[in-house]
Copies of this chain bind each other. A is one copy, B any other.
Amino acid sequence: MPMQFKVRIFEVEQGQNEIVLNEESGAALGINHFDRVSVRSHSRKAMAIADFSHELIRSHEIGVFEEVANQLQVKNGDWVFVEPVHRPESLEYIKKKLDGRTLTGSEIGTIIGDLMQETLSSTELAAFISAIYTKGMSVEETAELTNAICESGDVLNFGQQLVVSTHSIGGVAGDRTSMIVVPILASLGLKIPKTASRAISSASGTADAMEVLTNVTLDLQQIKRVVDKTNGCLVWGGAVRLASADDKLIRIRNPLHLDPKPLLLSSILAKKKAEGAKYVIIDIPVGSGAKIEDVEEGKALARDFENLGAHLGIKVQCLISDGSEPLTHAIGSALEAKLVLETLEEKRMNLLLEKSCLMAGVMLHLVKGVSKEEGYRMALQQVHSGAALEKLQQIIVEQGGKRVTSKDVKTGRLHAVLKARERGKISHVDNRAVSQLCRMLGAPQDKGAGVLLKAAKGQHVEKGQELAVLVSNSKEKLAYALQQTENLPLVQVQRIIIDVV
């Protein structure tokens, strides 16, 4: 027996479909706190989680949060019908996983389907994530999960053409290899539609740095057009709905700081599968201050990726790289974009170019059957010939920007110099501390903010020598960040004489 209620809209996003009823109306409907209801407006229907209010909602009213209001296309004062619905089946399967049992493909598909239908609450999703964290998943389950996540969103389709992709687990400041690998491989005729992320806890993501040079918010058709024309793209993944169930899972996983391996693996490979990639190279930076500190752990993760790839029909090759220090001296969106252009313009060898050519070389080894060394030389040749820079410019233009040189890139107008407080040898430059400092300087919102490192590991420095230049567009932020460097282990200087007894 559905009951009728008058809509009162609460203009707040809840991250889940939610409505609020008066406690007595809830009792009359026979529902408890967090039970599910179906809400029907004149023309639409939505599922929602029911919450109760003691006094604020009168018995003939329903409080409707933004997501539900949009789905129902209702306004204040409209009438809607509400009735209880059964608990979704997927709750049984979440329990099954909590009990340590193996889920079938159809059960996993049902969970992801309910997730997409917004019929699972955040607490239920937290239980699902906890279940996977504590009980794990077999490679078969993980493959089913990856397929279900991939199918939850849009996919790119390039027909019979060979599509490749690269991905980095991240955590290394200044690692903008994608901005060089993509043009190299695209210039050699491979399709590489790269969807990248924005900074989460770092100074800049690939999408942020690329956005300094061109538009990165493209829809699926625009991406298709750019890649058809240039073979590559470098766009923000958040603007398209590839593997969209993953975004919903990440929204719950991040605040919990829970990264169960099956979710980490499926998250990355579902996106790659949705890009249509048949060959994928995954960079796993390892070292102190990186996401993975231990080489053996990195290798185990590599095997898991390759194994899962095999179940998905994707050839995955992982690289373990040194992630203990920033890859380049320029950290921050504009500083990084500028360095990428400088590197391609001046064809100057640096760690960024070397790593990019190594990665491109491995990809060429996989798809063209050449040796890795030959692949590396082929990649470097594309840089030396200017083909890589030309390809990057084409991609920039097709995505909606103008051809640029490194000199056109504006970085922050305010600078401060960080100097060595004592003489010694630099023992460590910390990724996390560099990212934190950049954020104090205004990154990632202030694209011009960042840090230029002036000293590298192993180097001897004198007291008062420049260690880094802090860059920002805000005076207050610059002053605050400079003051904070006293507590940040940004550049660690090892004294030559530790102590005099």
Contact = CB atoms under 8 A, between A and B. Distances in A.
Given A1-B480, A11-B56, A130-B130, 17 more contacts: A12-B20, A12-B56, A12-B63, A13-B54, A15-B33, A33-B251, A33-B254, A34-B255, A87-B257, A98-B130, A98-B133, A123-B125, A126-B127, A126-B130, A127-B127, A127-B130, A127-B256
Interface of A: 1, 10-15, 20, 24, 27-28, 30, 32-35, 51-54, 56, 63, 66, 87, 91, 95, 98, 100, 121-127, 129-131, 133-135, 200-201, 251-252, 254-258, 439, 444-445, 480
Contact of A123 (B10, B14, B126): B126
A201 B445 CA distance: 51
A102 to B, nearest CB: 15
Contacts of A439: 30
Could you say how many copies of this chain the assembly holds? 2
A103 to B, nearest CB: 15
Given A54-B13, A126-B123, A256-B124, A24 B445 contact: yes
6 smallest beta-carbon distances between A and B, as pairs? A34-B255, A130-B130, A126-B126, A123-B126, A134-B134, A11-B56
B15 A258 contact: no
Contact of A134 (B30, B32, B130, B255): B130
B124 A127 contact: no
13 contacts: A12-B63, A15-B33, A15-B51, A32-B254, A32-B255, A98-B258, A122-B123, A122-B126, A123-B126, A124-B255, A127-B127, A127-B129, A127-B258
A353 to B, nearest CB: 32
A35 B11 CA distance: 21
A87 to B, nearest CB: 8
